[in-house]
Each structure stands twice: as C-alpha cells, then as structure tokens.
Amino acid sequence: MEPLVTFFRVLPAGSPWRQPDHGKPRRARPEGTGMMPFRQAQYCEPSRQATQLGYYIFLPMSFSVRWHGGHEYDVSFDDEVTWYHLTEVAFPGSFAAWDAVAPENCKGYCPNFISTTTEEGMLQIWPGWFAKTRPGYSLWVMPPVNVGTSPMTHVLHGSIDTDHWFGPLFTNVRLTATGRNIKFDAQRAPFMQVVPIDRSSLGSKLLDDFAVRDGIPEELWPAYYETLIRRHVHQGEPGFDRAGHYAVQARRRAKQDE
C-alpha cells in the first residue's frame, strides 16, 4: 500500500535542504516543539493529541517582511539589512533546478517562494514541497498547533484534495501589522502543520447528523461524576487515581487501537 502521505521536492544544487534533516517535513510531536508549558505537555492529553496530529512543514530560509498597507510590501533575506520591494520572489536557484528536471511542457513554471495576492495584507508562501496522499485523503493545512507564533501573522486554514490535485503545498498568510518588521524564522518553529483527513468524514450528510438538546440524560450523569467529581471527593485516598488519569487512559486506548 502506498504511504498515507508522500512529500516531494525539487532542490537547487547546494541548497541547505540537501543536508539530511534540514527542513524536511517531520511527524508532529505531542510536546510540540518544546514550547508548551511543562504540565500541559505532561498531563493535558487533549492538547497533546491535537499537537501531534500530522506533520510539521518548515520554511527553506528565514526572511522578514514589512507591510506598508494596501498592496505595498518590502522583503529582506539578510537579517533586515537590505530591503527589496516585494511582488514575487523565487527561492534562490529554484528555477534552474526546476528546469533541469521538468519535462518540456513544465519548464519555466516553477512556483514562487513568496507572492503577493489580490487581498491587502495577504501573502502566499510556498515552503518548497509538493504532497500526494492516499486515495480518499485530503490534507488539512493549518498553523502549527499549540506552537507559539508571531501575533503579527496568521496562517490561514485550508483543505486540499491532494489525492487528486497535485501542485505546490502553499498557504496564505495574513499580516496584521503595518510598518513593522515581521520575521519568518526557518529555525525557531515549523511554518505550518498538515494533517491527513479521511474525506468520508467531511461529507455534509455525515456532518449534518447532529443534535442539540436541553438537559443531560440520566445515563450520562455517572460519567460526569467519574470525570470531574470523583477526583475531588476521593482525592488523597489510598488507591485513588493520580493526576493525569485521563492521559493514562487515553494513551492506553490509543495503543489498543493501533
């Protein structure tokens, strides 16, 4: 069976991506990138489970952007020493590397690294990867889950049918501050996170099957007691479950499901 997700790249010679692990997509981890508070990383299983979904995608290089409002932007690639007017920017050497391997009808069509859009304050950024998923699966593109990012940027969510659509794995980024130097750091944290989704769970017929009810049915009250009240009533008693009981049970269920 083919992999759930396969990532592809076309690299310029001498690119830092040629190093074994630099910039490669990698499995997201339950502790994130080490930026979650310790207790949350240890005991908050809902946060851990959400954080570890899918794969981290990293930028190929660091850069800074300054938005002047409207459709006017500057970009710097040398720690904000030199600035250039931004419309479209290619990753250094990518066009030549692309044309060296692309068939004739695809030469000259390498995607840009950074592009402006018709929306004010919106950039389109391509980290350099393509992706293909197993039939029936899409990729949900999102900001890194539970990883601190700049308040001056927001990676927009999107769902791509990567089992049928094959193109650059890019995303749109909304800038929220004008007149400020906005740093996109390739080393500090992943740029975005992609999560494979079984499209059978996204159909309207399934999602429209929900209910809204007043009150809690009698058969669910014991579950509420076990979830929240029992830990307070019996805390400290011999044999009582320690902190992190939910995490222990959730991890046990996950192992049984594998």
pLDDT-derived band at 37, boundaries 50, 70, 90: low
pLDDT of residue 248: 56
Q: What is the pLDDT of residues 204-243, one digit of tens each?
A: 999 999 999 999 999 999 989 887 787 777 666 665 555 5
Domain 5-203, second-level architecture:
Distorted Sandwich (2.70)
Find the mean pLDDT for residues 169-181.
96
Q: What is the pLDDT of residues 161-172, one digit of tens each?
A: 999 999 999 999
Question: What SS3 state is found at 119?
Answer: coil
Average pLDDT value for the chain? 86
pLDDT of residue 130: 96
Domain ranges of the chain: 5-203, 217-257
Q: What is the pLDDT of residues 41-63, one digit of tens each?
A: 666 777 888 888 999 999 988 99
pLDDT of residue 189: 86
- Is the separation of the CB atoms in 250 and 256 below 8 Å? no
| pLDDT, greater one: 234 or 198 | 198
- Is the separation of the CB atoms in 13 and 58 below 8 Å? no
Q: How far apart are CA 212 and CA 11, in angstroms?
A: 52
- Is the separation of the CB atoms in 112 and 128 below 8 Å? no
Tokens found for residue 102: 């692309």
What is the model's pTM? 0.85
Find the mean pLDDT for residues 87-99.
90
Tokens found for residue 107: 């030469």
pLDDT of residue 125: 97
pLDDT-derived band at 245, boundaries 50, 70, 90: low
pLDDT-derived band at 66, boundaries 50, 70, 90: very high
**Which value, in Å, is the radius of gyration of the alpha carbons in the chain?**
23
pLDDT of residue 43: 65
